[in-house]
Structure 1
């Protein structure tokens, strides 16, 4: 079993696409269209590869949860990469700042960015294939 997609309701699909195209240059818009959700029109699109994607729907209302607070909601989601420095470089070149670095660990490097909708996205590169090393909290 694996995660196929996440579905994010946002206010601006195009802004989200700019961020995620920088993070995932090999992904593409798989499908898109217009629909109605609970009586409100929305633009939607699926951005990903043949196996996983992010679904975006616009016309979201209100702000995302305060990431420094304790509200119920999504804290962050993470993607594994084989070249974290390239991910950082692409996102910084696209105009996004690193929000925070993960703690130093000999078996992984991770970094956090905030996407245009306010979701925290973690990128992690592992330096070991041994689960006990990858999953430790040194």
Structure 2
């Protein structure tokens, strides 16, 4: 078996980034953190997650993220499955964030996209069926 354990993201402001992801994952916590140097630049870092998966945030970001409407090489978005999409939307609204764009909305799944404080696009999807052929339709 293989699974994704973590993503390592470069950010500008740890507190703003943590506020976003704490709203999304209220059951996660800061697992650890510290200071390091990356190619001559000092930075703070934290691991935010649970016992099985996490996000690493490094606060040495000094430029804008890629233009999400452009065609530059880089991360387009990453996605999380939730069984409570409305809860995610409500928690992010409480910290002042609106849905950036709507995704799928049919009888088998719903999804929305938000932009985090550093310009990463994050998709949240709620599947409304346990049948893989219905959840993963491409028509």
Unaligned runs of 5+ in 2: none
1:87 maps to which residue?
88
Question: What is the SS of the residue equivalent to 2:35?
Answer: strand
How far has the Cα of 1:39 moved from its partner?
A: 1.0
Unaligned runs of 5+ in 1: none
2:18 maps to which residue?
17
Query: If the length of structure 2 is used for normalisation, what is the TM-score?
Result: 0.97
Aligned length: 138
1:7-50: CA deviation from partner (whole Å, max 9, x where unpaired): 00111111100000000000000001111111110000000000
Question: What is the SS of the residue equivalent to 2:105?
Answer: coil
CA-atom RMSD in angstroms: 0.8
Supply the distance in 2 between the matched residues of 1:104 and 1:12 (Cα, whole angstroms).
Answer: 33
Displacement over 4 Å in runs of 4+: none
Q: How does 1:1-16 map to 2 (within 5 A)?
A: 1-16=2-17
Q: How does 1:1-138 map to 2 (within 5 A)?
A: 1-138=2-139
Supply the distance in 2 between the matched residues of 1:34 and 1:103 (Cα, whole angstroms).
Answer: 40
Question: What is the SS of the residue equivalent to 1:18?
Answer: helix
How far has the Cα of 1:95 moved from its partner?
A: 0.9
